[in-house]
Amino acid sequence: MLSDIATLVKKDMIEFRSNKQIWFPVIILPLVISIGLPLTVAFIPSTFSVSGIVPDIPARLLSNLPQELQEVIGTLDKGEQLAFLFISYYFAPTFLVIPLAIPAVLCADSFAGEKERKTIEAILAAPLSDSEILVGKMILPLVSSLASSYIAFSIYSYLVNVLVFHHFVFPTNTWILIMLFLVPALTLFSVGTMIIVSARSKGFKEAQQVGGMIVLPIFVLLITQLLGIISMTSQTLFGTAVVLYAIDAFLIKFGSKAYSRDHLISKV
């Protein structure tokens, strides 16, 4: 069983490396976010120090922040406060694009790509059960997404502490919760959703177009956060993760018909 699944995963890895449409966004997106976001605010503290004009963070805005962030901001000078506000709070939704977008790209190719390449018949004829095919197709997107997310987070944290603040202020407890609970939940959600989409799509492009909509909730979160409608407190993050894990379980359990062998054969 395990050797058969490993063979399927190895096959997907070979196709992943040979397809620029897949590996290019998987590698570039985490780098752009993990390096680009810190660089956008890296010079805020020094710029304000030189100009002598440092805007105060509005009291109403501060009151919407989690208590932990308010306490850290209180220990920083005014130039650092603004940079920390973006890095620790407003950039968080943007970072969550990674665990959603990477599985969307990889899973779009899982079954839809096999149909385009006319290789789906070989997989269906292999001595694998429906559940083994499902597990085999989920492993690469899951591992790639989590690895990319945690590597990007490590780069992001290093640049924030070394380049922006020159001392250790990051990650906060909020970000630790995001990485431990929310990132895996979002990854599973993206994988579960996109496996279904890929199984029902005729080709990679069609699955990818539908998969592009999977990141829309992140932009809604960003807007509501900017407007102060939602505050990313520990309770909010943990509650969101619990709901997402429940949805993940539903997608995996009740969505199995979408990628069953009988359904895929009928679509070949």
Q: Convert the pLDDT of each residue in 36-64 to its tens digit.
A: 999 888 876 555 554 455 555 656 667 67
Q: How far apart are CA 245 and CA 51, in angstroms?
A: 48
Q: How far apart are CA 153 and CA 249, in angstroms?
A: 26
Which pTM value belongs to this model? 0.85
> By the 8 A CB rule, do 153 and 97 touch?
no
Residue 267 has a pLDDT of 56
At residue 104, does pLDDT exceed 80? yes
Residue 58 has a pLDDT of 56
166 versus 268: the higher-pLDDT residue is: 166
Confidence grade of residue 266 (pLDDT, cut at 50, 70, 90): low
Question: What number is the average pLDDT over the span 172-186?
Answer: 93
Question: What number is the average pLDDT over the span 252-265?
Answer: 65
At residue 165, does pLDDT exceed 80? yes
Residue 261 has a pLDDT of 61
Mean pLDDT of the chain: 81
Residue 166 has a pLDDT of 84
Residue 180 has a pLDDT of 94
Residue 6: partners with Cβ closer than 8 Å, 6 or more residues away:
none
> By the 8 A CB rule, do 165 and 80 touch?
yes
At residue 197, does pLDDT exceed 50? yes
Residue 178 has a pLDDT of 93
